[in-house]
Amino acid sequence: MFGGLCFMTNGNMCVGVVGDELMVRVGAERWNESLTMPFAREMDFTGRSMRGMVYVSPDGLDEDTRLYRWLEMGLAYASSLPPKR
C-alpha cells in the first residue's frame, strides 16, 4: 500500500518500514504529541500530510528503548480499533 513493509494486528496497520524510516500509526489524538518527539515528522506519502501517521528517521531508532516506544504506540492504537474480518 505504501511501497514498504507493513505490520498489522487484527487486520489494522500499526507500523511499517518505508525506505529507511519507520512509519507509525499513532492516531489523530496522539498525532500532535508524536510530532514533538525527536526525529519524528509528518507522514507525507502522497505529498499531503496524513494525520495520525508519522515517519521516524533512523536516528530516532538507534536505541532499543526508542524503537520500543514507537512500536508500542503503533500497536496500542491499532489494538484500539475493531478487528477487521
User: Residue 63 phi/psi, 5° resolution?
Assistant: -125, 145
- Rounded CA-CA distance 22/56 in Å is 5
Q: How high is the pLDDT of residue 48?
A: 86
Write down the pLDDT at residue 2. Answer: 59
**What is residue 46's predicted lDDT score, i.e. its pLDDT?**
78
CA–CA gap between residue 28 and residue 18 (Å, rounded): 20
Please state which architecture CATH assigns to domain 5-80: Alpha-Beta Complex (3.90)
* Per-domain residue ranges of the chain: 5-80
What cell does 58 get? 533512523
Q: Tens-of-pLDDT digits for all 85 residues of the chain?
A: 556 799 999 999 999 999 999 999 999 999 999 999 999 999 987 788 889 999 999 999 999 999 999 999 999 999 999 999 8
Report the greatest alpha carbon distance in the chain. Answer: 36
